[in-house]
Amino acid sequence: MAKYNILEQLALFLQEYALRGQELLLGFSGGVDSTALLLALLALGQQCRAVHFQHGLRGEDALADEQWCREFCRQRGVAFQSLALRVPEQRNAGESIEAAARRLRLEAWQELSESGRLPVLLAHHLDDCLEDLLLKLARGSNASGLSGLREYRQMGTLRLYRPLLSWRKAELEEYVRGCGVTEWCIDASNRENCYRRNALRNIILPQLRQTFAGDSGLQQALLALRQDAEYLEERAAAALQNISSLESWQRLHPALLPRVLRLWLEREFGQSGAPSGKLVRRLQEALRNFQGKSVRLPLPGGEEIILERAGLQRWRPQPGIAERTWDWQNQPRLDLPECQAGLVVCAPDAIPPGAQAELFDRNALPALLRVRSWQAGDSMQPFGADFRRKLQDIFSDARVPRSRRSAMPVVLAGEEIIWLPGLRRAEFARVQPGGAIVAISYQPW
């Protein structure tokens, strides 16, 4: 009976998500769950490419599993691809093996799917959902984390589909045997209860089922949590569109804040996987305790998240603008590839519409100007002022994110800063009545 129910449900799933006839990628470990999904797809005449990941954790056993998967696919005419992830070597400092493996799988799926063009099918089932629920509950996850295994999940451009979430592992095994397959890959490490997930699967869940005469209550709770999470995530996506200041972050309801932060992180950093709970909690704490002084949260790879009065900003190391001299009288245009823009000298009546431009006393400008990035300690005398101001303060007043400052050109006459295009010009070379005038414009490409 399970055989026909699974085929019928899978056919409806493919139809609902418009996957029929598409080229599909299937995560194929060789376990009974992914074997069941592959067999069901073949029974429906749906072609796919089976992708097997070698994590570099189980030595000869993993190589044997790969060979079994390859042969299983060869016998059935299924395209097969194996990828070595080398998890121990690729793990980041402070990252668990499980988290590193998940991150590397998602990165691989992003590439294999051609940036989301190809759908990815995964064979998680109901038992996985219940294990994940209890594991995330012990870790303190919210409703979104507790119900993280969904039928459809989009991470950036990556599209993940899980058509077997309503089926028990025993039902999938029954289906596979009904198809005449009596062997599949079994990970011997799944019996080692020193791992938390294994302890949940092998000890805690069986005791819970015995005590409560099954796990129907867990299933009902999972459904309710999934519905709550989906509603809150919709609200969070709408709230992200209205984030424009520190105050808009701080006004968010506590149930929305972590979800909006996750969406912001995924948007800003393009992460293929969900941002870590630890990072989200650090950001929540920083927003809650912000007292007006800039807060910097370092990230792997040298990037930072900066919390300022303007809100959250992404910062990444930039080479800045290489210093150069500009013979502006003989070279009226100076290209700045680092800024994807250029500085252009022209007559005052020839300034392009909408261009950022300033007028200067032509005779007061030296023959050679200098252009570079800003440097710590830089200051200028703003136009119309009789005092000097640090560029850092000018940037802060204009709410220029730290991530953008190194890419903004500073124009100097000798050692005197005369212009920050788009922000402020200096008192230097003020136009005099009846004097010669030159315009300098800053024009993005």
Domain that holds residue 280: 241-315
Pair (157, 247) in one structural domain:
no
Pair (163, 14) in one structural domain:
yes
Q: Please tell me what DSSP assigns to residue 407.
A: T
Pair (277, 196) in one structural domain:
no
Cα–Cα distance, 277 to 319 (Å, whole number): 31
Amino acid at 312: L
| pTM of structure | 0.73
Inside any domain, residue 231? no
Pair (80, 179) in one structural domain:
yes
Average pLDDT over residues 185-210: 91
Average pLDDT over residues 173-202: 92
Q: What is the DSSP string of 110-128?
A: HHHTTTTTS-EE----HHH
Q: Please tell me which residue, 365 or 267, carries the higher pLDDT value.
A: 365
Cα–Cα distance, 96 to 99 (Å, whole number): 5
Contact assessment for residue 280 and residue 262, using Cβ atoms and an 8 Å cutoff: yes
Of 165, 186, 221, the one marking the end of a domain is 221
Q: Considering only 96-100, 234-238, 270-274, 398-402, which range has the smallest mean pLDDT?
A: 270-274
Interacting residues of 371 by C-beta distance below 8 A, sequence separation 6+:
321, 323, 324, 326, 334, 336, 343, 409, 410, 411, 412
Query: What is the pLDDT, as a whole number, of residue 286?
Result: 93
- Report pLDDT digits (tens) over 252-292: 999 999 999 999 998 888 754 567 788 899 999 999 999 88
Pair (358, 284) in one structural domain:
no
Pair (19, 140) in one structural domain:
yes
- The rounded mean pLDDT for the chain is 92
Pair (247, 347) in one structural domain:
no
How many independent structural domains does the chain possess? 3
HEC readout, 178-204: HCCCCCCCCCHHHHCCCCHHHHHHHHH
